[in-house]
Amino acid sequence: MALCIIGCGEPAQTEMTLLPFDQLPVQETLPDPLQFADGNPVNTESQWHEKRVREIRTLFSHYMYGYMPPAEAIQTTIDDVDAHYLDGMAIKKQVTIRFGPEGTPPLHVLLVIPSSQASPSPVFLGTNFYGNHSVLADSMIPLSTQWIPERGAGVEDNKATEASRGTSIDRWSIEQVIHAGYAVATFYHADADPDKDDFTDGLHASIPVDGSVARSDTSWGALSAWAYAIHRSVDYLVQDPDIDASRIAVMGHSRNGKAALWAGATDPRIALVISNQSGCGGAALSRRKMGETVEAINTRFPHWFSRSFWAFNNNEDRLPLDQHMLISLMAPRPVLVASAEEDEWADPEGEFLALKAAEPVYKLLGYSGLNNESMPTVHQLVGAELGYHIRPGGHGVGPRDWDVFVQFANSHFGVATESN
């Protein structure tokens, strides 16, 4: 039996016993987020915030995503500012964020801020799949020099070429989002960890956890590295006078949606999270075994989670957690789970049911949560702090999804726009 260490660099204020895999009880039903590890009920808001949140974060760190190192102080350089960007509609900043021991790869954050805003702007922050140069067709955005998967448009020998500029414009829909009154901040997830099965590059190779950069059973996987880098970007955003530090939303699609949820669950400065088709390891319940299973994800992407998660291949019922508990860690902050009808791999119903099962935590804290018993039909955004939306079509993210993200964020951030 191991004694718990609290993850994410927080002071240990509680201890719980973390059983080895073969001593974990089989639980066919969902574990109760409102029950302490010792079996006692969580009855009050302070019990939730002061103890249960830490327990649940520890469970996810220990058995699934791996422990992140403590926060490292950041140093930032503003490399480029364009005050008349997008025909004067926006201000563009390119920021390098450095942290950690010598040799730690920096994060390159692209920030586009609406210039029409009188006050600091709310912001959508998130990791991108193929480099900042892919989200806008702008020759002033340097091509990423990181490893990029071959499936990326305009990628040759795992390197970006000029042909890859602007190939993910729709995924971020930056002009549309700026027009709605939001800033967008994004960085390529490979700055934190290239998306391949190794532990030899990115933050893993530079920032030790428990004194070592070698991969242990509970070391951070790629999703934890991406989430950690999102936290370091938040460190920058809260200092930028053009950004409203109280309205930072993190958005992620698919694997980046998994990282967005984990980042939001471990950093209360993130005011709102949007998970788009994040599926297995994100918003979808593992115990359903629908679409992508734990075994399928660990087989294809063994580097995303901690090694300790591999034991749950075909053993989902031994998990002392499930994804509703990940969502509940956001409470009472808003979370939107967005699915697509034909994206069965991400198990839309499992995503809805996870949201629903997080609701008792919101209710304990005095909020209404989802307030919807069954899955809505397509095109309806339902819920209160817990929002759910399903659209027709398959896996992907684009302008019509951003309409929904903005609508959800507006209702919580109090933004009024022309499109309202």
Residues within the interface to ligand GCU (CB under 6 A): 254-255, 279-280, 292, 297, 300, 345
CA 268 to chain CA centroid, Å, is 13
Q: How far is the CB of 119 from ligand GCU (least distance, A)?
A: 35
Could you say which of 49, 115, 206, 395 is catalytic? 395
Q: How far is the CB of 292 from ligand GCU (least distance, A)?
A: 5
Q: Which is nearer to ligand GCU, 72 or 292 (CB)?
A: 292
Q: Which is nearer to ligand GCU, 189 or 204 (CB)?
A: 189
For residue 156, what are the β-bridge partners? 159
Structure tokens at 177: 């989002």
Q: How far is CA 161 from CA 96, 130, 139, in A?
A: 21, 11, 12
Alpha-carbon span 383 to 50, nearest angstrom: 27
Q: Which is nearer to ligand GCU, 147 or 345 (CB)?
A: 345
Least Cα distance to 126 among 245, 256, 238 occurs for 256
- Do 337 and 261 contact (CB within 8 A), yes or no? no
Please list, in sequence order, all residues whose beta carbon lies within 8 angstroms of the beta carbon of residue 131, skipping any fewer than 6 positions away.
143, 144, 146, 148, 152, 160, 164, 188, 190
Which amino acid is present at 74? I
Q: How far is the CB of 291 from ligand GCU (least distance, A)?
A: 9
Q: How far is the CB of 137 from ligand GCU (least distance, A)?
A: 23
Which amino acid is present at 310? W
Q: Which is nearer to ligand GCU, 65 or 182 (CB)?
A: 65
Helices (H) and strands (E) in the chain, counts: 10, 14
Q: Which is nearer to ligand GCU, 178 or 353 (CB)?
A: 353
Q: How far is the CB of 375 from ligand GCU (least distance, A)?
A: 20
Could you say which of 134, 164, 173, 254 is catalytic? 254
- What does the DSSP 8-state code read for residue 345? G
Q: Which is nearer to ligand GCU, 267 or 292 (CB)?
A: 292
Q: Which is nearer to ligand GCU, 16 or 354 (CB)?
A: 354
Alpha-carbon span 119 to 313, nearest angstrom: 49
Structure tokens at 344: 């069965």
CA angle 128, 134, 138 (to 5 degrees): 130
**Residues comprising the chain, all counted:** 420
Q: How far is CA 381 from CA 18, 245, 251, 377, in A?
A: 39, 26, 17, 9
Alpha-carbon span 179 to 220, nearest angstrom: 37
Q: How far is the CB of 256 from ligand GCU (least distance, A)?
A: 7
Q: How far is the CB of 277 from ligand GCU (least distance, A)?
A: 7
Q: Which is nearer to ligand GCU, 178 or 297 (CB)?
A: 297
Determine whether 254 is an active site residue: yes
Other C-beta atoms lying within 10 Å of the C-beta of residue 93: 20
Q: How far is CA 419 from CA 26, 32, 119, 174, in A?
A: 49, 40, 19, 15
Element (H, E) at 94: strand 90-99
- Catalytic center residues: 254, 395
